[in-house]
Structure formats: structure tokens, C-alpha cells
Structure 1
Amino acid sequence: MRKTSPLRVLTKKSFVAYLAVLLLFWNEMIYPFIHSSLWDTLTEEDGLQAARILIVADPQLIGYRNEPALIGPIARIDSDRYLSRGFFYALRHGRPDVILFLGDLFDEGVEGSDEEFELTLQRFDSIFASYKSVQKVYLAGDNDIGGEGEYVIDSRRERFRKRFPNTLSMKDLGLRGVAVDEMNVFNGALRNLTAASSDDKLSIMLSHAPIIRSSVAARQAADRHSDLILSAHDHTAWSYSRERAAAAGSSSSTFERTPIDRGTVVEATVGRTQRVLELQSPTCSYRMGVPDMGYGLLTLRRIDDEADGSKLQLQARYTVLWLPGRYPQLFSYIVVAVWLLILVAHRVLYAGLRSIVLTRNKNVKQNIV
């Protein structure tokens, strides 16, 4: 009787199973690590230290109402793991001084109950855990408190601010003289996030929704209050720039818009004599219906034209830490799972037919005897 080699037996019985395990390790561990190692570091060539800001936009943690009952728990687990893994690598790579959350933190912040809000908050804290020494700024998006199609209700806004307190000191970042404001494009609300001082010479505007291509009122407010704008909302990455009202006329709405692709690094000088610059960050969630997801990474360094700092400017460098696509990975799992099911079904069917044939042959031999 010819012996079958162990390798041949292994190939026949376990090839697909080993392939599934290898695919799991590749998708969940190996490829994300390799992918993150190719991100741009935004290292300052002259060695001068710059403030590093990691931007988290539109994570939109899946809620408990809009997902099918059977798929919902699986979808939440997979989406949360994707967000957590991407944030882990972005945090390790970016080594930020500040983490800026640009709104739409929850998908069902408006329609969810207080209990569902607290459950989602626990998941959020687990996903985006970081060092206590890192400053954090949280903006509310329309999915958190309303604004796009719904009224911004005070109770939602206060609940958000209570659960997401902001800590921001520009002095600790080496950016003394730079004020930071928040604008809600949907209702026109404007508030200061840093203690105002007489030596504030530049201003950074934070907004969930883009401003430069927004309403006339928003653009005028940007002219008065901002030199650099950081926004999100559209789930894609863009760079906008616009002449100030004094240079272009108060009614002008002309602006330049450039997509931020993989490998792009935006470099610009920010100051009162420069064009208003807006950097729009993409979503970090694969559930938002866009092919490319990522975390924004921004460095800001002071440039003083004069010894007394009377002409303060900032050197800004921005890139996106692009994430691996998730749907191709899920599709690969489905292909392997279907393959396994076909092999199992084939083996069961073959065993059943073989049993029938053996039984029939046995009966035939008994009848002959």
C-alpha cells in the first residue's frame, strides 16, 4: 500500500484553513504595521521643534439604532477595532502634542438616548485612549448636537461639552501669541478656546464644516478671526486658500481648492499678510462611503520676522496618515469563507455518496451469495 506523504495530507486537508489564518494575520497585524511605516514623519529639516497636532475627523462611532439587529454588534466591533488600530499607529507615528477631534464623533449623537450616548462614550474613550500629557480638543459636529437639518439644541450642546472638556495651552506648545477659536458654521456660533491676551497676533479657527467655501457670513468671520482654518465634515481631504477681504473685496467668494492625495505634504506660511489657509481632514472611519481614510498630521512652528515678535508668522506643514482600505480585507475574508464552505460541503456530500455506494455494493454481494 502506497504511503501518502505528510505534506500531501496537509495540503489536502488544511491548505484553506492555513490560508485563512495567514490572511487574518496579514490584514489585522502585518499589513497595517508595514503601511504605517511608510507614513511621512514631517521632520523639521533645521532641527527646530514644532508643535505636532494629530487630527481625528468624523470617526462617527456606530450607534445602536440604525444597524440591523443581527449585523449591528459585528459592525460595531469591526468598526471600533479599525478605528482603534489606526489611531494606535497614528499616535505612535505622529507623537502629537495635541489631539484635535473635529466633530461627528458619534453617528447617533442627535437621535440616541442618554444611555446610548454613555455606552458610545465608553467605547470612544477605549478607542482613542492616549497619554494624559497630550492636550485634547473636542469639537461637536452636526451628528453630535445637530445643525445640518436639525436645530442645535442647548441640552445636546451642554451634554457634549460636559463629557468632552477641552484642554489647550498655546504657551505650552511654543505658540504664544496664537489664539484658537471655534466656529459652528450651521448656527454661526463663535467661541474662544484659549485665554485671550493682548499679544495675540495670529488666530487659528477650528470648525467641523468647511468655512472658506461656506456662506458669506462665515467667510467674513474667517477674515476677521482666522489665519489658519482646520475643518472636516466632507470625509475627504482638501486644501483651500483665499485672499482676505481687504485684498479681494468684501463680497469676493473666489478661492483655490486643491485635493490632498497620498504622499502630498502641504507647506505654507500662515500670517496676517498671507492668504487665509484652510486644511480639511478626511474621515478616519471606513463606514463613511469614501475609498480613502486617514488621520491628519499638522506641525506648526513660529517664525518671528522681528526680534520682538511683532510680525509673528507660522510655518505649517500638513499631511494625511492614510489608512489601509477595510472593504477589500472584508471581501477577502468572504472569499476564503465561501471557499471553506464549498470544501466542507463537497466533503460531506462525497462522504454521503461514498456511504451509499458502499452500502449498495454490500447488499449486492449478499444477494449474490
Structure 2
Amino acid sequence: MRKTSPLRVLTKKSFVLYLAVLLLFWNEAIYPFIHSSLWNTITENDGLQAARILIVADPQLIGYQNEPLFMGPIARFDSDRYLSRGFFYALRHGRPDLIIFLGDLVDEGVEASTEEFDLTMARFDNIFASYKSIQRIYVAGDNDIGGEAEQVITTLRNRFSKRFPNVLSMRDLGLRGVAVDEMNVFNGELRNLTAATRDDKLSLMLSHAPIIRSFGVGARQASERNSDLILSAHDHTAWSYTRNRAGSSSSFERTQIEGEGVIEKTIGRDQPVIELQTPTCSYRMGVPDMGYGLLTLRTIDDETGKGKLELEAKYTVLWLPGRYPQLLSYLVILVWLLIITAHRVLYSCLRSIVLTRNKTVKQNIV
């Protein structure tokens, strides 16, 4: 009797299983590492140090009410892991001095119970863990405190402010003379995140929703504040807005941010107003491209002798790998395994039936 090659037996019985393990290792470890190593690096001109800012927009951690009961734990696990892995690589690549969370931190902030909110916050802390030396700013979005489909809810606003205290020192960032404010476009609320001083010459405005293209009270107040650089999110996609200071405030240019390039802008009172809109970092938001924003700000020496302050701004998006194609590959492997298993079970049943029938026939003949 000819012996079957061990390699042949292995191929017949385990090829799909080994392929599944290889695919899992590729999707979850190898490819994310390779992908992040290809991210664009923002270099600092003349070797002068710039403040490095990592922008996290619309993570929208999945809640406990709007997911199917049997799929909820799986969806939360996979989404949380995707966010955590992306943030880990963005943190390692960006080496930020400051992290700005631009709102919609959770998906069900308005409707979640106290227990559900606490569970979500524990997950948030695990996902976005970083060194204590890195400063943090948290901006509330409409999914956190209301504002789009409903009024901003005061109790949720207070809960958010208490849960997410902001830590910000412009002196430590090397950006003295820059005032930072938070604007809520939905109700026009303006908060100063830095103590106003006589040295303030530029204004950095943080907003969950875009400001330049808005026509509401928030846009008017931002214009009155004379903002120079605006950072926003909300739409889950990446855009750059430019508005000239002269002329109508409703006239602006809008350009979609794509690819791995670096946007370079000069920020100053004699320059156009710039708004940079960062995409979502969650694959659950229904858009094909996700990423983290990386911004560097560096003071430009005033050569006019007039005490004018300008900033050199460089911005890029650290684009993340798509998740749905990976999940689809897992589904294909799973269906393949189910078909093979069903085929073997069916074959074994039919073989058992045939052997039993043959045995019965032989007994009858005897």
C-alpha cells in the first residue's frame, strides 16, 4: 500500500486554516505596521523646533443601545481595537506635544445611561492612553452634548467638562502670543482655553463643526474674534478652507485634502484665515478614508521690527488602512471553511449510509 505524503495530507486538511492564520497576522500586525511606516514625516525647517499637535476627530465609540444585541460586543471590540491600534501608530509617528480631540468622542453620549457612559469612558481611556507629559484638549461634539438634532444639553455639557479637563500651556509649546478658544457652532458658545494677555497677537479657534462655511451665530462670533487658524471636524472628511479677510465673510475657497502631501500655510493677521478639517479616525462612519491629523506650528521671526507675530503651519493626514476589506477577507475565509466542513460532514454521512447498506445486503445474501 502506497503511503500518502505528509505534505499532501497537510495541504488537504489544513490549507484554508493556515491561510486564515496568515491572513489574520497580516491584517492585524504586519500591514498596519508597514502602512504607518509609509506615513509622511513633517520636517522642521532649519532644525528649529515646532509644536507638534496630533488631532483626533470623531472617534465616536460605539455605545450599547443602537447595536444588535448579539453583534454589539463584537462590533465594540473590533472598532475599539481599530481605534487603539491607529492611535498607537499615530502617537509613535507624530511624537506630539499636544493632542486635540475635536468632538464626537462617543456615539451615544446624548442617550447613554450613567452606567453606559461610565463603561464607554473606561474604554476611551484604554484606547487613547498616552504619556502624562503630553498636553490634551477636549472639544465637545453634538454626539457628546447635543446641538445638531437637539439643543445643547447643559447637564451633558457640565458632565463633559468635568470628565475631560483641558490641560494647556502655550508657553510650554513655544507659542506665546497665541490665544486658544473653543467655539460651539450650534449654539454660539465661546470658551477661552488660555488666559488672555496683552501679548496675544494670534487666535487659534477649535470647533467640532466647520466655521468658515457656516452662516450661523458661531461663524459670526468666530469672525468677530478675528480667528487666524481654525481646526474643525464633524463631516468625517478632510478639507482645507481659505477665506480672505477683505470682502464678504461668506466668500471662501474649499479644497479636499487627499494623498500623503503636506499643506504649508503662513498664519498671521496679514494672511488669509485658514481652516483645517480633520477626517474621522473610525471606520464606522460610512466614509472610505480615515485618519489622524498631524499639525506643526512654529513661530516665524519678525524681521520688520513691528512686533508682528506669524506662525508657520504644516498639516498632513496620517491615513489609516481600510477595515471593511479586511473584514470581507475574514468572511470569505469563514465561508470557505464552512463549505469544506459541510462537504466533509455530508461525505461522511453518505459514506456511512452506503457502508451500512452494503453490510445489510451482504447479510441478506448469506
Contact 2:59–2:83 (Cα < 8 Å) also in 1: yes
- Residue deviations 1:190-235 (CA, integer Å, cap 9, x gap): 1110111100101100000000000154333333321000000000
**Matched residue, 1:235:** 236
Equivalent of residue 256 in structure 2, options 249, 259, 273: 259
Mean Cα deviation higher: 90-99 or 149-158: 149-158
Corresponding position: 1:347 with 2:344: yes
The DSSP-based 3-state class of the residue aligned with 1:111 is coil
Once the two structures are TM-superposed, the CA of residue 365 in structure 1 deviates from its matched residue by 2.0
Matches of 2:217 and 2:250, distance apart in 1: 11
Corresponding position: 1:312 with 2:309: yes
Query: Does the C-alpha gap of structure 1 residues 133 and 307 become closer, same or farther in structure 2, counting only changes over 3 Å?
Result: farther
Written as runs of structure 1 = structure 2, the 5 A alignment for 1:19-168 is 19-168=19-168
Matches of 2:287 and 2:51, distance apart in 1: 30
The DSSP-based 3-state class of the residue aligned with 1:155 is helix
Once the two structures are TM-superposed, the CA of residue 4 in structure 1 deviates from its matched residue by 0.8
The DSSP-based 3-state class of the residue aligned with 2:175 is coil
**Matched residue, 2:198:** 198
Contact 1:223–1:276 (Cα < 8 Å) also in 2: no
Matches of 2:152 and 2:73, distance apart in 1: 29
| Length, aligned pairs only | 365
Matches of 2:184 and 2:178, distance apart in 1: 20
Once the two structures are TM-superposed, the CA of residue 343 in structure 1 deviates from its matched residue by 0.3
Mean Cα deviation higher: 221-230 or 109-118: 221-230
Mean Cα deviation higher: 105-114 or 301-310: 301-310
- Residue deviations 1:70-123 (CA, integer Å, cap 9, x gap): 111111111000000000000001000000000000100011111211111100
Matches of 2:294 and 2:77, distance apart in 1: 26
Contact 2:187–2:217 (Cα < 8 Å) also in 1: no
- Residue deviations 1:320-339 (CA, integer Å, cap 9, x gap): 00000111111110100000
Contact 1:216–1:253 (Cα < 8 Å) also in 2: no
Equivalent of residue 360 in structure 1, options 350, 357, 360: 357
Unaligned runs of 5+ in 2: none
> What value does the CA root-mean-square deviation take over the aligned residues?
1.2
The DSSP-based 3-state class of the residue aligned with 1:305 is coil
Once the two structures are TM-superposed, the CA of residue 45 in structure 1 deviates from its matched residue by 3.7
Once the two structures are TM-superposed, the CA of residue 309 in structure 1 deviates from its matched residue by 7.2
Contact 2:27–2:326 (Cα < 8 Å) also in 1: yes
Unaligned runs of 5+ in 1: none
**Matched residue, 1:338:** 335
Query: Does the C-alpha gap of structure 1 residues 3 and 204 become closer, same or farther in structure 2, counting only changes over 3 Å?
Result: same
Written as runs of structure 1 = structure 2, the 5 A alignment for 1:290-305 is 290-305=287-302
